[in-house]
Structure 1
Amino acid sequence: MASCEGEDCTFFSRIPKIDDSSCITIELFMSASSILIDFLVLWGKRFYLVKADVDGNIKKVSNAVRDLNVTHLRDMLLQEQTLHLSKKDSSGSVGLLWLKRTYEFLVRTLWHLSQSTSADSMYDIIIKAYDETLTKHHNRLMRHTFKLILHSLPKRSAFIKKLAYDHDGCERQVLSGAANCVKMLQPIVAKLNELLLEFQLEDVS
């Protein structure tokens, strides 16, 4: 069995660092999106629908950016609002709204994971994050389906090992990496939320 050596042995240690979130460029957005997609892949094939939904929203933003020929998300939101496109389901604005909500879910999941112990299950960790973020935006059927899928999650120990690329003895590094990832992503999520509130796409509550 491979063992954990140093800090550079986990999913989090290989994530490119995002240093400046003051102006969200498309490049920054795609970097954050790749973290989200890669993390969902680790959840297994049963979460295909969740990953497919995220992929679809990323595509909406990418298509809008290309069609509008912009390099910043603010410009995309402004142009779609001017063209009365921002409320259409296929718009980059709607795609960005749902991605921001999913990023919030990811951040809370990572935070709860970073604070967890062996007594916690992955279901407990993720359902806490879900109840704090996405559940208020989902209808009853979506909530039921999501919670049903959660029962197929691996055990916490198995998931931590996945995050350590099958290395043993890496729990400390994984939990520390999760906490650091939260610190890196929080300013991005806050900036996205600020933008979406400015363009009246997200609820104030």
Structure 2
Amino acid sequence: MAEEPSVFGPTLGILAHVRGENNNLLTEPFLDVCRSMLPVVDKFGSSMALVKSDVGGNIGRLDAKYATDTTSYYLLYDIVRKEVADKTAKNSNSCTNGLLWLTRAMDFLVELFRNLLVHPDWTMSQASNEAYAGTLKKWHGWMASAAFTVAMKLVPDRKKFYELLGGGNLNTDIETFVTTFAPILQENHNFLKSVGMDDLKAS
């Protein structure tokens, strides 16, 4: 009997279709990739409840905007371009802000899984803390930072966590996820930087 694929299976399937003509990022598949990470976040248990609600909220915000005009917002960055033109991009409830924080949350997850791959001797707490320090921490105020520090102490044991992620070629799947998704997230940052929107901090 074939082994069950890992929890990354759906994500890797969608990642293959995230670009359209001229290599542009497509709104719906990008949001679907992020959405497909929610079951992965679930495997962390209650420790990642903050990340899950943040990611879910930002996907919902972008989804709602996309649904208003699927033709105009077919390409991910066109949502941001419209808000920049309307001078609403800096609003805390803007889709631009949503994309920025969604990208940062995904940065954190990519970095966490990269740490698990590169450092087989690290505990989950160590991998999580290092990922947080390298991604989200500098953008968080002290309250969010304190909440995250507590959450990182609650992550499951590494061996148990790996069992929850499913079978198949788990390390290969993680590596494919990290190496495929990281450049897309970097592209988001480069674009947001080009319109002056990559350095917003949490209040």
TM range (shorter): 0.7 to 0.9
Residue 34 of structure 2 is aligned to residue 18 of structure 1: no
CA contact (8 A) 2:38 2:52 kept: yes
In the aligned structure 2, how far is the partner of 1:151 from the partner of 1:201? 32
Deviation for aligned residue 1:46: 3.9
CA contact (8 A) 1:63 1:92 kept: no
User: Structure 1 length as normaliser, TM-score?
Assistant: 0.85
- SS at the partner of 1:11? coil
Match of 1:176 in 2: 172
CA contact (8 A) 1:113 1:178 kept: no
In the aligned structure 2, how far is the partner of 1:24 from the partner of 1:90? 22
Change (3 A) 1:67 1:17: closer
Matches within 5 A, 1:7-86: 9-15=5-11, 16-19=13-16, 21=19, 22-67=23-68, 69-86=72-89
Task: Percent identity, please.
Answer: 23
Match among 127, 143, 146 for residue 145 of structure 2: 143
Which whole-Å deviations, capped at 9, do the CAs of 1:160-191 have from their partners, x for residues lacking one? 00011xx5xx7xx3222211110110221122
User: Structure 2 length as normaliser, TM-score?
Assistant: 0.86
Match among 92, 95, 98 for residue 95 of structure 1: 98
Change (3 A) 1:5 1:113: farther
Residue 156 of structure 2 is aligned to residue 160 of structure 1: no
CA contact (8 A) 1:64 1:91 kept: no
CA contact (8 A) 1:65 1:92 kept: no
Deviation for aligned residue 1:35: 3.1
Runs of 4+ in structure 1 over 4 Å off: none
In the aligned structure 2, how far is the partner of 1:162 from the partner of 1:50? 18
AA in 1 matched with 2:103:
K
Match of 1:112 in 2: 115
- SS at the partner of 1:89? coil
CA contact (8 A) 1:80 1:86 kept: yes
Which whole-Å deviations, capped at 9, do the CAs of 1:93-144 have from their partners, x for residues lacking one? 1000101111111111111111232x32100011111111000001122111
Listed as ranges, the gaps of 5+ residues in structure 2 are none
Listed as ranges, the gaps of 5+ residues in structure 1 are none
Which whole-Å deviations, capped at 9, do the CAs of 1:11-35 have from their partners, x for residues lacking one? 1234315235431111221232123
- SS at the partner of 1:32? helix
In the aligned structure 1, how far is the partner of 2:59 from the partner of 2:14? 20
